[in-house]
Structure 1
């Protein structure tokens, strides 16, 4: 069966219990369709990048799903009809993540992806100066 990841954003004014009920309903559509939900992660109430239906925050939930396409389509149809769901997105993946997703990992345990720009600038400036010096020496030899 194909593997999917679904992220659901629910309205900010519903309770955590209602978010749990919404998640269970989505899981029920998958299991009724012959699939299974491998993992459920509640990311909590987070700020949205922009207002969606007059909401600035939303409850985020991630579902890792192993189900046939028809079961996923039925779940998405019901999410679309639910007034508490602001947005949802389902993507097909090659394999499901083991352990916590990146959103749940603490910042200290994530690898640092920033580049040290000072070192890169120094390397560029040094090589530029070497090129200029080499150009000056060739000009002197030509003269």
Structure 2
């Protein structure tokens, strides 16, 4: 089955428990239609780049799924009809990365990632600045 990543943005006036309940609801929709949710993350309330339905903030949720396209289409359809969900983004990926998503990693871990030579120069420069 194809692999997908989904990001949902829910209204800011929901509680954290309600936002996590949405994750469970859409995970169940995928499971009921023959797929499975490999991983899910609740990213918390974040500021939006622009207003969506008069909201400046939203609850972000991230799902990784292994599901047939019919299950994904049904989940997206129900998410678009749900009053609490403002936006849905689904992307098909070749493989799921292990560990937490980039949004959940600590800033230091992200910066130490695959930076190549430029990263080593930056670390040397920072070390020299401290001395």
Question: Does 2:79 match 1:79?
Answer: yes
**Structure 2, unaligned runs of 5 or more:** 120-131
Rg larger in structure: 1
Structure 1 runs not aligned, ≥5 long: 117-143
Q: CA-to-partner distance for each residue in 1:30-69, whole Å, 9 max, x for gaps?
A: 0001110000011100000010000000000000000000
The corresponding residue for 1:61 is: 61
**What CA distance in whole angstroms lies between the structure 2 residues aligned with 1:95 and 1:15?**
32
C-alpha separation in 1, matches of 2:101 and 2:21: 22
Query: Which residue does 1:45 correspond to in 2?
Result: 45
- Note if 1:30 corresponds to 2:34: no
Distance in 1 between residues matched to 2:104 and 2:60, nearest whole Å: 11
Residues 58-137 of structure 1: pairs in structure 2 closer than 5 A? 58-111=58-111
Q: Please give the alpha-carbon distance, in whole angstroms, between the structure 2 residues aligned to 1:78 and 1:97.
A: 27
Partner of 1:130: none
- Measured in 1, the distance between the counterparts of 2:45 and 2:7 equals 13
TM-score normalised by length of structure 2 = 0.84
Moved over 3 A (4+): none
Instruction: Output one character per residue of 1:68-110: Cα deviation in whole Å (capped at 9) or x when no partner.
Output: 0000000000000001001010010000121011101111111
> How far apart in 1 are the matches of 2:4 and 2:21?
21
CA distance in 1, matches of 2:42, 2:24: 12
